[in-house]
Structure 1
């Protein structure tokens, strides 16, 4: 039994060594609550672009957590681009401040669409991607929660991959007399970290960030599309997930179960001692 206790102590210590760095890395990767903005520096950090592009090639770049704004005319297509990394489930929101009700002739319907770096439209699993606004409504709120970004996918698959994500906002239905009226839009994107439950083996050689090398590609001859700025911590390598923790715990528990089984089997196989005859 002393041998069993010693082996158990060693295994538990080894498990602690395995879980210590892993847990620390997991906590480091998990998002921490953002401090309350105070001062002009914090306000500038949270502010995004104040204009939107009109095509993929001129999309305005912003980071997750920022708020991008733009003023345009009804009927225009507005484009923004932001980065999303492996394990994130982005939620895109848009708020449209409508023209005054006195100058509008009827209701309108607004819509947001999200495209990945290959310009594949990504479906929304939650949220109101399209919404109608009554003639007297002052604003309309839209949202779209995407599927979790995967580290890689088969060539035939359409799963979201790490890289640039493009937002397109436009009105899809309104009286013809209301075309050209001015409105204001505010968009943003935040992500929830999904962890190892959505992790997969392998990773892309590079994130899907095709196109221009500058953030402001307003020139008409921009080569492809504005790329999203990389996340502040850089693009994920795709190798780490909290599955490593559960793998280490499972291995340690399996080893302990093996030792316990061996001890029980060895104990039950010993012949019982018969007291000597008097």
Structure 2
């Protein structure tokens, strides 16, 4: 009877502990949600180079007016464990002035300006003659907290989106278009977690800014201005985690608790329920 009660108590404690741990894991995962508050406004223009890329938060839709042939740049932050998806929509002009057979394309670069490949999505698409818009998308690989120097894995830091018309005829140059870009992320969790982390996220411009501040030349002010343009200040809502948290912590702790409960249950089953009989004296 005592053994049954002990096992039942251990089972209840184990279930409660697992529920608490899984709830904590969900809370931590939810803290990295790409959505943001509605106080900040999304940009209504785009940059024309990496240095002038407009920063956009994940979960917000950036808009811009441009002309065919322009290169449009935006930047966004992505942290370890996230799998970003970039969606872009190009709204074409009236049919009378619509580009004939133009092919639109989006490319994503990391903080080192390395082009990142898309896992899936329509990265390039030709506009149909009767189309009023062109939809593009690119889902990146999961951002890793650490990687080998020779690898091209996505790492925490700033990412750049470039939208442009890849093929145009001379008559299509300069026609007005409008563009919309939105970045969302899926929290992948411990299935893609790795040991190790970067000393700092790949945010371009920080080294340039420090060098400009330490310089005593007469061009300090000009260099500082350029550094300020190059510096990307965007970061996740809760700051950079650098991969310190993943749901592997939850499952590791849950495995330890289950192992301890199994040990208690095994001891209760094997120790016996009766008292050892005394041996009469002289036997």
Coarse TM-score class (shorter-chain normalised): 0.7 to 0.9
- 1:116-127 to 2 correspondence within 5 Å? 116-127=110-121
User: Secondary structure of the equivalent of 2:230?
Assistant: coil
Does 1:235 find its partner at 2:272?
A: no
Q: Choose the corresponding residue for 2:66, options 72, 82, 86.
A: 72
Q: Which runs of 5+ in 2 are unaligned?
A: 210-221, 277-283
Give the TM-score taking structure 2 as reference length. Answer: 0.79
Separation (CA, whole Å) in 1 of partners of 2:189 and 2:262: 28
Instruction: Confirm or deny: 8 A CA contact 1:19 1:248 kept in the other structure.
Output: no
Where does residue 188 of structure 1 map in the other structure?
A: 182
Does 1:257 find its partner at 2:251?
A: no
Where does residue 156 of structure 1 map in the other structure?
A: 150
Note the C-alpha offset of 1:7: 8.2
Where does residue 226 of structure 2 map in the other structure?
A: 222
The C-alpha deviation readout for 1:184-243, integer Å capped at 9, x for no partner, is: 111110111111111122211111111167xxxxx9962483415112211114222111
Q: Figure out how many residues of one structure are paired with residues of the other and give that number.
A: 259
Where does residue 131 of structure 1 map in the other structure?
A: 125
Does 1:174 find its partner at 2:168?
A: yes
Note the C-alpha offset of 1:104: 3.4
Does 1:146 find its partner at 2:140?
A: yes
Instruction: Confirm or deny: 8 A CA contact 2:21 2:250 kept in the other structure.
Output: no
The C-alpha deviation readout for 1:124-165, integer Å capped at 9, x for no partner, is: 111100011022311101000111111111111111111100
Instruction: Confirm or deny: 8 A CA contact 2:25 2:247 kept in the other structure.
Output: no
Does 1:23 find its partner at 2:23?
A: yes
Separation (CA, whole Å) in 1 of partners of 2:160 and 2:25: 30
